[in-house]
Structure 1
Amino acid sequence: MAATPALEIAPEKVAHVIIKAREYGAKVGAWNASTEEGDADEDPSAILEDFASDPTLGEIAGFIDALNDDEQANLVALAWIGRGTFEPEEFDEAVDTARSEQGNSTASYLLGLPLLSDYLEEGLEKLGFSANDVESDVL
């Protein structure tokens, strides 16, 4: 088995995306469409409602967009490894494919993956990183 190539993105940055993607994925549609803002005092579950003014989506998209091209390609490749599209020993090929297929915003693409946090965690694990350890370093 060939040696796993080094990531060109800090595992802590991946962990940040995992944590924020988990927060974003936990959001649900606003239950009361006539209400502009949720009131967590009256309904504690309102904190999980996804309102247009919710900063979580903007925060994670801004973070991903601020990564350089190599980091973005590595992040996409990690998601693909975690999803099973590529095997860990095909990491370089996954990165090359991510670079060549980048058409629009990487953030938009990644945030469109319903299991993004799971894919990134699995990708880190398959490349020999402990996702739990990396995430605990970020938290």
Structure 2
Amino acid sequence: MSKIPQLTISSAKVAAILAKARQFDVKDAVTDPEPGSNPSDDAMLSVLEDHRDDPVRGELTAIIRGLNVDEQVDLVTLTWLGRGDGDLDEWDDLRAEAAHAHNRRMAEYLLGMPLLGDYLEEALSQFGHSVEEFEQPL
């Protein structure tokens, strides 16, 4: 294997996005799109559903949009790498393809991937990192 590519996005940022993605991934389909009751009346079940105004979605979108273009391209490339679309030896080709595909809807594109957290974790492991390195002790 050739040497590990240099990332423009820090592994800590990837881990933070991964953690938020995992929170987002566990959301369920919306069962009642217009609940008319008080959230406490429905046992707060709506927090487990994927509503458009979901705060986790908003935070994750803001984090991704807050990255510079190179970081966003790396994030997409890492996602593809973790999904198995290539390996580290093909990093330059994957990254070039991600750079070509870059647009202002990268956050929405990434949030449309149900296993985003898993893909990023797999990619981090290929770079020799584990999620546990970045977890904050309680």
Query: What is the TM-score with the length of structure 2 in the denominator?
Result: 0.87
Measured in 1, the distance between the counterparts of 2:53 and 2:101 equals 31
Report Cα offsets for 1:46-89 as digits up to 9, x if no partner. 43123333211111111101100110011011101100101012
Structure 1: gaps of 5 or more residues: none
Report Cα offsets for 1:97-135 as digits up to 9, x if no partner. 11112134111111111111100000010121112222x
Q: Name 1:25's counterpart in structure 2.
A: 25
CA deviation after TM superposition for structure 1 residue 138, in Å: 8.9
How many residues in Structure 1 have an aligned counterpart in Structure 2?
Answer: 138
CA contact (8 A) 1:16 1:138 kept: no
Structure 2: gaps of 5 or more residues: none
Identity over the aligned pairs, expressed in percent? 38
- Confirm whether residue 39 of structure 1 aligns to residue 43 of structure 2: no
Q: RMSD of the TM alignment (CA)?
A: 2.2
Q: Name 1:55's counterpart in structure 2.
A: 55
Q: Name 1:103's counterpart in structure 2.
A: 103
Measured in 2, the distance between the counterparts of 1:38 and 1:48 equals 15
Q: Name 1:115's counterpart in structure 2.
A: 115
Question: Per the alignment, do residues 40 and 121 of structure 1 end up closer, same or farther by CA in structure 2, a change over 3 Å counting?
Answer: farther
Measured in 2, the distance between the counterparts of 1:50 and 1:37 equals 18
CA contact (8 A) 1:80 1:86 kept: yes
